[in-house]
Chain A
Amino acid sequence: MTDVLLEIDNLSVDYETARGDLKALRNISFDVRKAEIVGIVGESGCGKSTLISSILRLIAPNTRFRSGEIRFDGSDLLKATEREMRALRGDEISIVFQDPMQTHNPVLSVGQQMIDIQHRSKAPKGEKREKAAQMLAAVGIPDPEARLDQFPHEFSGGMRQRIAIAMALMSEPNLLIADEPTTALDATLEVQIIERLQELQREMDCAILFISHHLGVIAELCDRVVVMYAGAVVESGDVRKIFHEPKHPYTRRLIECDPGHIKTRARILPTIPGEVPDLANIPDGCIFRDRCNQATERCMAHVPPLESVGEEHMAACWLNHEEVTA
């Protein structure tokens, strides 16, 4: 375990609501090493957004950190002051958001915004502008010098997402969080953006935390994967291991449901029956047991721990203990 950049250790986050505490994240542990791409997969509401806002500490007022640490470069972000966090955001840690139509200030030209983002640098304006143009060129926007004077609404969605990536990478961060950066784009654009992101990542040597529910993209892009379900990590490890020999029924079902994996034509796409349990009122035992077709007595009573099931491979499922118990 060398060169760990971001280490999330036993993190639990609740939202205080009128109905009681909503346990949005429970005992999350994983890490991101320097210059690697880690994917986070999971359906809507599994806690991906809570995780991102916790890392950046841009949290809703009713958020409560119950336990754990988020260590970035060795220091715990949950203990950092607001001032220290602000110094980190956009410099060491950057983010690209999901919807490129919403992430730019509509009344400032792209150039103004890209110059403003370099507010930490003391360089003269001309130099900042040049750097902005270089970044636009790097993400594949033709004629960047002229386009700096245009407003966000004059760009297409794909272009805007490229601009967002350019802005996020401007400070050459050590960690880029990509929050479903291609979900709002069409399939052709998705491939282009992913390829560009991959190129830039190699050039800049930054780590990427890539959040998506598109398994194809994750398999293509990431080195390692974390599978989340209802606020908990159910499986994590090397991308090939996860996709070829998944050790958790949820991962297995998720892969089965990916349209890219379905060989025969079907009228109805497969789904995982049931729904995510109420996070304000979590039942005993395994969080996935109600939707799992292999659930046993043991799953009803005890929460399976996240344990090593092979080299670079962890899973939280009692089924992996069968040899031991039988």
Chain B
Amino acid sequence: MEKSQSEIRIIIVGIAKNPLGFMGLVIVGAIVFSAIFAAWIVPYDPIEMNIRDRMQGPSWSHLLGTDQLGRDTFSRVITGGQVALKVALPAVFGAMAIGLTLGMVAGYGPKWLDNFLMLLFDTIRSFPTVMFALAVVALVGPSLQTVVLVVMATSIPTYGRVARTQTLTLRNSEFILAERSMGASMARILGVHMLPNIIGVLAVLAAMDIPTVIALEAGLSFLGLGVKPPTPSWGALLKDGYALVRQTPWLVIGGGLPIIVATLGFTFLGESLRDVVDPKLRKNQ
């Protein structure tokens, strides 16, 4: 639709007006910026070992110290951010797109299809994510793609259920009846009239889901099921630091702090996004 350009501006301005939203924008902006320009920001190669400089504290040459192999923690944190986004964004947006489609089909389509999709969603949801991940990793081996796929598969039902509920509510609303009595086809009703009513809710859900996924990736990497070493990830940093916490706490801080900050940033963003996407709450626009 042609509204996108101004619409996005209105949403961003709306978020920035809220102090928490502003903080969220700044944090998320910083993470995205450092991930995109990681190659220029990092002072050292994040996987280059330097045994002579191992386990140092913070200094001007190593801002967050080094690990047991002498790798620069700061460089690894920045590159780890890249990894976190590489997992979180495709997983969340993929899950959202698939969940949205299936959910709308379930909500608007015939009853048997609805029942079938709900059964499918409930089946997937009944697996504990970590157990599911363990099984998949045992089958295909740990990698970035595996993490993305596992996270996506396990979060599709959440989006699907929300999209379905919204569709069911909208389906019986009078304005949809009005559209039908004006001769709108099913595709038109779903695409033009229902989608804009649902997408806002799902966008908020996605923004709040990103930190969960980042934490999940960190958790899987911590368990050794995520990205393979020597690729730096916040979870892997935490894992290395956990073993060496008596000698050098900087690894734990380097791995843990970004997870906390990223979680806060995306949550702030999601919450203020929720207030903005509802046109009824939008003032003077």
Q: Which residues of A contact B (CB under 8 A)?
A: 56, 58, 86-91, 94-95, 97, 99, 102-109, 112, 116-117, 119-120, 151, 153, 164, 167-168
Contact = CB atoms under 8 A, between A and B. Distances in A.
B3 A58 contact: no
Contacts of A86: 183, 185
Given A87-B183, A105-B197, 13 more contacts: A89-B181, A90-B183, A95-B178, A97-B177, A104-B175, A105-B179, A106-B279, A107-B200, A107-B279, A108-B192, A109-B3, A116-B192, A151-B280
Nearest to A125: B2
Interface string B250-264: 000000000000000
Interface string B166-189: 000000011101111111110010
A15 to B, nearest CB: 17
A102 B183 contact: no
Contacts of B3: 109, 112
B188 to A, nearest CB: 7
Interface of B: 1, 3, 173-175, 177-185, 188, 192-193, 196-197, 200, 279-280
Contact of A103 (B178, B188, B193, B200): B178
Interface of B is mostly: helix
Given A86-B183, A107-B197, A119-B184, A99 B177 contact: no
Contacts of A108: 192-193, 196
A153 B280 contact: yes
A119 B174 CA distance: 20
A94 B280 CA distance: 28
Contacts of A106: 175, 197, 279-280
Contacts of A90: 181-184
Given A99-B174, A106-B280, A108-B196, A91 B181 contact: no
Given A106-B197, A107-B200, A89 B182 contact: yes
Given A99-B174, A112-B3, A105 B193 contact: yes
Contacts of B196: 105, 107-108
Contacts of B192: 108, 116
Nearest to A117: B182
A107 B197 CA distance: 6
A153 B279 contact: yes
9 contacts: A89-B180, A89-B182, A95-B182, A103-B174, A106-B175, A112-B3, A151-B279, A153-B279, A153-B280
A91 B279 contact: no
B32 to A, nearest CB: 27
B85 to A, nearest CB: 29
